[in-house]
């Protein structure tokens, strides 16, 4: 299977969630199942069925997180020496040429993308248009509303 790029922070966030599920959520749901079993007839026991459903969700999420982490190529952005080029993990400051609006994005893996936190996926149209550009270059992004032009103001590896 192909390795998917991930920042160090993104990998740590997934590890933290995995640890929480394994050490807190899983034991809690096992305890809830045991308590529901003690109540008797399992056919009509809503608490038992709800706890089993919750257990199924937790186990599925644990498997998903373990899979993502095992297939991740973790890249430490601070150790990159890309010579000022935009690469995976770069934080870029852009100027929308049409509106004079400045935006800042970090290019991250698909699982880490969060537009509210200005973290865009490496597979997004804007990230694909930016990869390889340097300060002063203009990137043309094909957006649903038409083509948008962005000038690269700054490239940081933080």
In tens digits, what is the pLDDT along the chain, a chain of 158 residues?
A: 578 899 999 999 999 999 999 999 999 999 999 988 887 777 778 888 899 999 999 999 999 999 999 999 999 988 877 788 999 999 999 999 989 899 999 999 988 999 999 999 999 999 999 999 999 999 999 888 889 999 999 999 88
CATH of domain 77-156: 3.10.50.30
CATH number among 1.10.3720.10, 1.10.287.180, 3.10.450.40, 3.40.50.300, domain 4-75:
1.10.287.180
Q: Where in the chain is the domain with CATH 1.10.287.180?
A: 4-75
Contacts of 42 (CB under 8 A, 6+ apart): 36, 48
Say if residues 87 and 75 touch (Cβ distance below 8 Å).
no
Round to whole Å and give the CA distance between 115 and 150: 17
């Amino acid at each position: 299977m192909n390795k998917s790029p991930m920042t160090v922070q993104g990998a740590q966030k997934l590890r933290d969630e995995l640890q929480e599920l394994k050490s807190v959520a899983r034991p809690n749901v096992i305890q809830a199942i045991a308590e529901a079993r003690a109540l008797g007839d399992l056919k009509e026991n809503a608490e038992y069925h709800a706890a089993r459903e919750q257990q199924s969700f937790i186990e599925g999420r644990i498997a998903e997180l373990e899979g993502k982490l095992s297939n991740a190529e973790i890249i430490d952005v601070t150790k990159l020496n890309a010579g000022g080029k935009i690469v995976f993990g770069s934080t870029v400051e852009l100027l929308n040429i049409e509106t004079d609006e400045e935006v800042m994005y970090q290019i991250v893996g698909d699982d880490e993308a969060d537009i509210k936190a200005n973290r865009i996926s490496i597979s997004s149209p804007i990230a694909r248009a930016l990869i390889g550009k340097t300060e002063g270059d203009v990137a043309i992004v094909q957006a649903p509303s038409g083509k948008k032009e962005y000038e690269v103001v700054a490239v940081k590896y933080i």
